[in-house]
Amino acid sequence: MVMNRDQRVTRHAIARHRLNVVVAAMVIIEEFEEPQRRKRRWWVKPWIQRRPLYGQYETLLHELRLENPADFEAYFCLKPELFQELCTRVGPPIQE
């Protein structure tokens, strides 16, 4: 069966319309679905939970430095070694 140009254009338009309907339906379904949340290991990191017990800068500082250096660096914006060096340089003049 040979189709003329108008028939081909009409078939193409119908196929394009069907595709648009399917895409629109997928978008609507996507909007109504619940987003999948990632499962969290902790809601609050353990060292943050212990902060009221131990104080922010005393025992907790040393514990955090040993337990999780990455969290230490994120919290203080300094590596533990650099923080210690800063404390040794600044500590004596402040204590006087």
Instruction: Answer whether 65's CB lies under 8 Å from 72's CB.
Output: yes
Q: Which residue has the higher pLDDT, 22 or 67?
A: 22
Give 91's pLDDT tier (boundaries 50, 70, 90).
Answer: confident
Instruction: Answer whether 33's CB lies under 8 Å from 25's CB.
Output: no
Supply angle C-alpha 25, 8, 5, rounded to 5.
Answer: 150
Q: pLDDT tens-digit profile of 32-66? A: 887 777 777 767 877 777 777 766 676 777 788 88
Q: pLDDT tens-digit profile of 19-28? A: 999 999 999 8
Q: Which two tokens stand for residue 93?
A: 């003049």
Q: pLDDT tens-digit profile of 1-15? A: 677 877 877 888 898
- 3 state SS for 38-56: CCCCCCCCHHHHCHHHHHH
Asked whether residue 96 carries a pLDDT value surpassing 70, the answer given is no
pTM: 0.41
**Per-residue pLDDT, 1:** 63
